[in-house]
Amino acid sequence: MLNQLLEHWKEIEPHNIKVTKRWYREARGFCKELASIHDLPVRNVAAIVSALSPSVSWDLNKRDAINFVRTRGQTNVSTYGNQARKARLLLNPDLTKRQVLQILGGDKTKSFFLNILEPMTTGPVTLDRHAYAALDINGSGYVSVGDRRGAKKAYREAAELVGLRPHEFQAIIWEHIRSK
């Protein structure tokens, strides 16, 4: 798995690496602006963005989040109904980070939330269908525990080898795979 990621890495232009490395910081900026406009903590908006993210593009995720926060959850979203239910719970500004993580529940959405909320720390690896596609794993269905564990380890090791945080490396690979 590690070698597959490093092969993808070799295909990426240095300029794209520099730009995409900031992906999670820019996502946090989006959440911060939306939070400011609608008087919510950034933590809640980042959690709502994460809850609404499964199986949708980033552009659609942002549009849904804007409409969701603006209407306080009284809108249709493009992801699964259970994710919209979670997002409605996440509108409560009194939730702690721990409570937010409990509501999000899933590994992908929790990782995505933490990486958006704290992009300057070494956070978890967000494994979604694109992250798995880079490893030739079908991430649209069931992914075994072994594949998940191996993928996380490979992303962490590859990130360390190239001098990045795991989520920065993952974002760069994510954009590379999506652009193919």
Using CA atoms, how far apart are residues 134 and 151, in angstroms rounded to an integer? 10
Task: Centre a 10 Å sphere on the Cβ of residue 12 and count the other Cβ atoms it contains.
Answer: 15
pLDDT in tens, the chain (180 residues): 999 999 999 999 999 999 999 999 999 999 999 999 999 999 999 999 999 999 999 999 999 999 999 999 999 999 999 999 999 999 999 999 999 999 999 999 999 999 999 999 988 999 998 899 999 998 667 889 999 999 999 999 999 999 999 999 999 999 999 887
User: Are 115 and 107 contacting, i.e. CB atoms less than 8 angstroms apart?
Assistant: no
Give the pLDDT of residue 176. Answer: 94
Terminal alpha carbon distance of the chain: 19
Using CA atoms, how far apart are residues 60 and 63, in angstroms rounded to an integer? 5
Burial class (CB in 10 A: 0-12, 13-18, 19+), 59: exposed
Using CA atoms, how far apart are residues 14 and 18, in angstroms rounded to an integer? 6
Give the pLDDT of residue 138. Answer: 80
Its pTM stands at 0.94
Which amino acid appears at position 148 of this protein? R
Give the pLDDT of residue 139. Answer: 67
The structural domains of the chain, with segments of one domain joined by +, span 2-179
- Buried-state track 90-105, b at ≥16 Cβ within 10 A, e below 16: bbeeebeeeebeebbe
User: Are 167 and 27 contacting, i.e. CB atoms less than 8 angstroms apart?
Assistant: no
Q: Quick one: which of 93, 64, 63 has its CA closest to 80?
A: 64
Give the pLDDT of residue 141. Answer: 72
Give the pLDDT of residue 18. Answer: 92
